[in-house]
Amino acid sequence: MTDFSRIGVAVIGTGFIGTVHVWALRRLGVDLRGVLGSSPERGAKAAAGLGVASFDTLEQLCADESVQAVHVTSPNHLHYPQVKALIEAGKHVVCEKPLTMTAAQSAELVALAEASGLVCAVCYNIRFYPLNQQARGMVAAGELGDLRLITGHYVQDWLAKPTDWNWRLEGDKGGDLRAVGDIGTHWADLTSFVAGEKPVAVLAELSTFLKQRDKPTGPVETFTAASGATEKVTVTTEDTALILLRYPSGARGSLTVSQVSPGRKNSLRWDIAGSTASAEWNSETPDHLFIGHRDGPNQILQRDAALMNATGAAAAHLPGGHVEGFADTFFALFSQVYSDVLAGGRQEASTWASFADGHFEMEFCEAVLASAQSGAWVKIGG
């Protein structure tokens, strides 16, 4: 295994996803230099619980020459200024999605990243479930034939009650699109990655079913229940989205996004139908890939490197039957990113999402919003 111990890394953000990053980085073996919280006090408290040091300010972090790379897991509205400052300070960056709040901001970061020569990745970790890498290899090899239909959903239930609260509900912190920006972009990135092509136009409908919510007067961690005093607030971001898609090859698609579907804890499902075969995957059963045939028995491929193509096998880290889950995807993503850091830049076989991929997702979100407002098809990036 590659020795990553000489790479100094820091993490901005100490909530749920920041903690997941810390766990994966420890497993990877980098030199974890510390975390930066939303305030010096909260950062120090979280750092003590994680057993790491803390930074008081972004400026202090940027000036620390022992830190070569930084993971940005802060609320969405902070990504752009923080990432820009980090690149200007010469730090490699792994940024949580969405990359920024607007396509104009993400375009600027793409240009800065390309000019810097630094490794700059967006944390679309779901690419790194091994069977998604397997499916990408299958499509690239023509095993599904010409692609015809790309369908699926990303549905959750953690915001299904009026008493559920998170900063993502507020447009000034999370963006004008909430469900689409938070989880719909994961589906769009993943299916584009597997299919080898990105959608070019969308027709979207957005719905907000819970227009009034109880906002706690104190802080609330993601995926945790609120307690204490609350105040009634009006919510303008969407609970659900229905999106039709057009692809450059002529393929068509549809996506359902929801954060208010009871019982659906974290279900991302895609189904790609080609002219000769189809494939389907669901994040809640990540070690199984359905492969469908017209003139022969259907198959269920269980993740096992000995049975997978080269792309899939390279992403499998555990023996077959030992399920690789959510946390493992971060380890696999970071392992590839830091191998590229040691190599001096992105390698030809690397499959992590670039800032250009993150910029496309911002263009995707803006097209979805424009389509929902106009009721018409909108060209992505147009």
DSSP string, 190-210: HHHHHHT----EEEEEEE-S-
Name the band, by pLDDT with cuts 50, 70 and 90, for residue 235: very high
Residue 280 · residue 292 · CB < 8 Å = yes
Q: Using the predicted structure, report yes or no on whether residue 245 has a pLDDT greater than 70.
A: yes
- Give the Cα-Cα-Cα angle 300, 304, 305 (nearest 5 degrees): 130
Nearest-angstrom CA–CA distance, 114 and 112: 6
End-to-end distance of the chain based on CA atoms, in angstroms? 45
Each residue of 88-107: pLDDT tens digit? 999 999 999 999 999 999 99
pLDDT at residue 358 is higher than 60: yes
CB of 337 closer than 8 Å to CB of 162: no
Q: How many helices (H) and strands (E) does the chain have?
A: 12, 18
Average pLDDT over residues 349-375: 98
Q: Across residues 336-358, what is the average pLDDT?
A: 97
Altogether, the residues listed in the chain come to a count of: 382
Phi and psi at 2, nearest 5°, equal -60, 140
Residues 323 and 286: beta-carbon distance below 8 Å: yes
| pLDDT of residue 191 exceeding 90 | yes
DSSP structure class, residue 96: P
- For the chain, residues classed under CATH 3.40.50.720 are 8-125
Are the beta carbons of 87 and 70 closer than 8 angstroms?
Answer: no
- Is residue 338 a contact partner of residue 165, using CB atoms and an 8 Å limit? no
Percent of the chain, pLDDT > 70? 97
Cβ–Cβ under 8 Å, residues 312 and 137: yes
> What is the third-level CATH fold of 8-125?
Rossmann fold (3.40.50)
pLDDT above 80: residue 293 = yes
pLDDT above 80 for 6? yes
Q: Which two tokens stand for residue 173?
A: 């912190």
Average the pLDDT over 181-192 and give the result: 97
Summarize the confidence of residues 228-249 as an average pLDDT: 95
DSSP 347-375: -TT--SEEHHHHHHHHHHHHHHHHHHHHT
Q: What mean pLDDT is predicted for residues 345-360?
A: 97
pLDDT at 220: 67
Q: Quick one: pLDDT at residue 295?
A: 96
Among the listed ranges 27-36, 54-63, 166-175, which one has the minimum average pLDDT value? 166-175
pLDDT at 229 (0 to 100): 85
In one-letter notation, the amino acid at residue 117 is: G
pLDDT value, residue 171? 87
Give the residue, 218 or 326, on which the prediction is more confident.
326
pLDDT band at 224 (very low <50, low <70, confident <90, very high): low
**Alpha-carbon 268 to chain mean position:** 12
SS3 state of residue 109: helix
Residue 183 has pLDDT above 60, yes or no: yes
- Rounded to an integer, the average pLDDT of 332-346 is 97
pLDDT of 151 > 60? The answer is yes
Ranges 29-43, 148-162, 216-230, 283-297: which has the least confidence: 216-230
**In whole angstroms, what is the distance from residue 319 CA to residue 241 CA?**
38
Whether 242 shows a pLDDT value over 80: the answer reads yes
Q: What pTM was computed for the model? A: 0.93
Burial class (CB in 10 A: 0-12, 13-18, 19+), 208: middle
Backbone torsions φ then ψ of 214, nearest 5 degrees: -95, 110
- Residue 176 confidence (pLDDT) above 80: yes
Please say if the pLDDT value at position 158 is more than 70.
yes
Of 128-132, 229-233, 330-334, the range with the lowest mean pLDDT is 229-233
Eight-state DSSP code of residue 217? S
pLDDT tops 60 at residue 27: yes
Average pLDDT over the chain reads: 95
- The mean pLDDT value for 364-371 works out to 98
The DSSP bridge partners found for residue 17 are: none
Instruction: Give the confidence band of 25 by pLDDT, cuts at 50, 70, 90.
Output: very high
- Alpha helical stretches, state H, the chain: 16-28, 40-50, 58-63, 79-88, 103-116, 130-140, 171-174, 179, 185-195, 310-315, 326-343, 355-374
The pLDDT-based confidence of 225 (bands split at 50, 70, 90) is: low
Which range has the worst mean pLDDT, 189-193, 224-228, 303-307, 363-367? 224-228
pLDDT band at residue 382 under the 50/70/90 scheme: confident
CATH (residue range 129-320+359-374): 3.30.360.10
What percentage of the chain has pLDDT greater than the value 90?
Answer: 91
Tokens describing residue 220: 């609330």
The pLDDT assigned to 297 comes to: 98
Confidence of residue 217 (pLDDT cuts 50, 70, 90): confident
Query: Residue 246: what are its φ and ψ, rounded to 5°?
Result: -120, 140
Give the position of tokens 């424009």.
370
